[in-house]
Structure 1
Amino acid sequence: MDVLSDVIAAMRTGRPHSSRTVERAPWGVRFPDSDGAGFHVVLQGSAWLLGPEGADPVRLGPGDVVLLAHGSGHGLADHPETPLEDFEPEPDGSWPERPDPGPADGDETLLLCGAYQLNRARAHPLLTELPPVVHIPARVGCPSRLRAAIDLLGTELAEPHPGSHAIVSGLLDTLLVYLIRTWWLRERPEETGGWAAALQDPAVAAALHALHADPAGPWTVEALADRGGLSRAAFARRFTAMVGRPPLVYLTWLRMTRAARLLRESDTPLRVLSAQSGYSSEFAFAKAFKREYGVAPGLYRRRAG
């Protein structure tokens, strides 16, 4: 099981949105705080990233990518001194059509921007550990796979064809994985520590892969320690230090987060969900779910519907 992909899928809510826009100087857009994560790619021209609050402006050149993983409000403009206009998404969260920039008097910038809806109440440490701004400059070597995903996404938005809606949604998911992976590899997690480093630790990574591959399994700390070749006590200390939660607490988080996603997105019967979540009865599952979310599974599904 790919742990990174599984973590992103578990946190995602709704559909991601994106837009390919042309701006001509002077221009400036202010993006409000949100529950999700956003990204911007400069395809042509240049731009300035303004914020989040307290951060210095960052000049973006052709091919530069920025990920704002925590939904912090920020601005994007042709110059740090340009006034900003508020960005207002459509009621469904999609990106509105930007007005035609008019005659080509000023310098032109071609942007690819997008947003993901994430469940902040169930934030995974792997994402919460990301810095406020992940800047991947093209000049230091944007990975070829990330570049390919950006090119494909830009083409589908510029020249939509039958099936483009599904393709764009899939490419946005792919792009988010590539962005996080690129940051992770560049930051040398074995030196910086944290949850990303856990995936580089043989013992902890073995346990994480086992849990994500079979969350319904009858896992014990001893069984997970055996996967990593450590004693129970040594494994529990290492796992908790790196992941931020004891092994079985993390397992409960994983089971309940997956169950909540299925409750929102499917009509899977509760008895099936209970078994898939590793519980022997609907009662035990409902009790565990209510302890995590504060409401019974059936009520959670009705509210999400």
Structure 2
Amino acid sequence: MDLTVILVIIAIGSLGAAVVYGTSRWEASTRKLRARLEAGALPVAPAIVDFRELKGLPVPVQRYFRTVLKEGQPMVSGVLMRHRGTFNMGETADRWKPFSSDQQVITRRPGFHWDGKIAITPGFPARVYDAYIGGEGILHAALLGLFTVADLRGTHEIAEGELMRFFAEAAWYPTALLPSQGVRWEPVDERSAQATLFDGTAAPTLLFRFNDAGVIETVHAEARGRTLRNQVVPTPWQGHFWNYRERKGMRVPLNSEGAWLLPEGAKPYWRGHITNITYNFAG
């Protein structure tokens, strides 16, 4: 057999073995992190939605809750969702790559674990997880699940950035935005309101804008940690939500986009669609 063919066969075999081993290691790490996430879950109280707690909230916030929730329905305690979409890998020029992911969320104590697989090139997937578990923020990325390209955790900046993600994405689990769940709302105008979520020493504040239908259209942060060359740079950020549908008695968006708001304009980096969403409820 030609030597070149032999070398190609060896290379393909080695790559296949690396993919299998990397997947196994990554899945083991995912199981450990999700076990930590579940172990930190606290009882959700109250167990049902009570619109009496809407008294005194800004008008667009009251309208939002009455639009997406029903009086007396159970409070969300956990969520498991799956996404498909595209992720922009370029820091300057756009390089959109397809991804698939699943995400587990615990609403009290706030926490989540997002596990994504990005098809950088055929046969060379990048595995990425974002997490906020027990007050710790984690961002880890590895080629084939083996070769680390980013590993950020343990700092206040990372924790606040990941809690901010949980907070912004609460449009998918809207009972977590009620005042009883640790959220303080402040009026801005007839179409927007500012909210702060308190968890330990982290307390991110976001601006929520509502559309004519009364649902969340955008969520804006004056500064969220953007990872550039393994460093975290505070950068204005915006999340956009649309395609609202009813799921388990709640109206939630199935499409979303995340973008950094740079001096030269918005730079979207994440566009996703929820393909499946499953809820756990209090009680």
TM-score, length-scaled by structure 1: 0.21
Question: More strand by proportion, 1 or 2?
Answer: 2
| Structure of greater Rg | 1
